[in-house]
Amino acid sequence: MKKLLPLFALLGPLTFSAANANEASNTIPMWQGNATTFYVQAEVGEMGAMDFMVDTGSGYMTINETTLAGLKESGQAEYQRELRGVLANGSEIVVPVYELAEMNIGNCRLTNVEAAVFPGKTRQILGLNALKQAGNFTFSFNPPQLALSGCQGAEILADASDQQQ
């Protein structure tokens, strides 16, 4: 037992540091739209701040054609493939998927985020693929806010997922 005590003494500080790394490091205020939807502001490429509906039921982040046009002009969106998806009303849609060079949600910088592109000027959605890249997250109602825990490593996570493909 005496031989194990120094090992536990070393593991204690490591466990404490790991727990601190999982705490929310970036809190973004949300506001409620009509019905029960919540929105955050995010910057995509050099497009400036825009509204995104936070949707934990959406597998993909979505942007509209207007945003895509601006990103393509500045070379910050690259076509990847087509995606067949099912909308909330049950209908199917085929949309292009683009990889976006950079996205900032609060102080959280994400790189190489895939976004499905919806026609026209439809509302844009912050879906699970982008939230997953930002690490664990907390969606709070009172006050309405989105807390992202893995922002310091978000760029590293994006690079690691690129290597796995």
Residue 118 pairs with which residues in a beta bridge? 64
- Assigned fold of 27-164: Cathepsin D, subunit A; domain 1 (2.40.70)
All structural domains of the chain with their residue ranges: 27-164
Q: What pLDDT tens digit does each residue of the chain (165 aa) get?
A: 444 333 323 333 322 222 333 444 688 999 998 878 999 999 998 888 999 999 998 999 999 999 999 999 999 999 999 999 887 788 998 999 999 999 999 889 999 999 999 999 999 999 999 999 988 899 998 899 999 987 754 443 344 444 444
Cβ neighbourhood burial of 61 (10 Å; 0-12, 13-18, 19+): buried
